[in-house]
Amino acid sequence: MSAGSPWVIGLTGASGAVYGVRLIRFMLETGRSVHLIITDAGWRVLKEELGWDVSRRVEALRAELGEPERGWTYHPNGDIGAATASGSFRTAGMVIVPCSMGTLSGIARGASDNLLERTADVMLKEGRPLIVVPRETPLHAIHLENMLALSRMGVRIIPAMPAFYQGPQTVSDMVDFIVGKVLDNMGLDHQLYRRWGMPDE
């Protein structure tokens, strides 16, 4: 797979849209291309948590991310025939951030009921990296069993659990810690947080 293959980033209806947006912005700022899939509930969270005007979705992305020429491509979640639904479309992998328990369940049972779930299924069948960032608490047995099932298939599970050893001073610092952990698992360099053992600047 070429180094220039795009990553797919999915946002769902779990709380924590800020994580997904921060990841997308980092990718664009560092010259990487991304394909975006956002569920209906994900759009609602963007409105409720970040104040986005989502009445016209592509225009909302332009307002927040700049023009598509910056490197982003948007696919409606209902477009099951979009490029990312096929294994022949070359991608580096997929990150779902935040990942709702409903989406996690659909992926674990191979539902492929929408483009996001189908794209995740493509990652599994093609052996490409799939990273999910669940954001729910408390967790019950079904949540845990679904996460275990995905983990056994090689999916990286990165719960939105910020650490504090790096001395966060703001909410943005805590967001950057989680996004940094995601980037670590994507194999991408970053300096979003101070690593354990690194000296203070």
pLDDT at 105 over 70: yes
pLDDT at 83 over 60: yes
Look up residue 16 and give its amino acid: G
pTM: predicted TM-score of the whole model, two decimal places: 0.94
Domain that holds residue 55: 24-76
pLDDT at 126 over 90: yes
If one counts the domains in the chain, the total is: 1
Pick 112 or 196 by higher pLDDT. 112
Taken in order 11, 180, 123, 82, is the CA torsion positive or negative? positive
Instruction: Kindly state the average pLDDT of the residues 40-56.
Output: 98
**Residue 188 maps to a domain:** no
What pLDDT is recorded for position 194? 84
Per-residue confidence band for 19, with pLDDT thresholds at 50, 70 and 90: very high
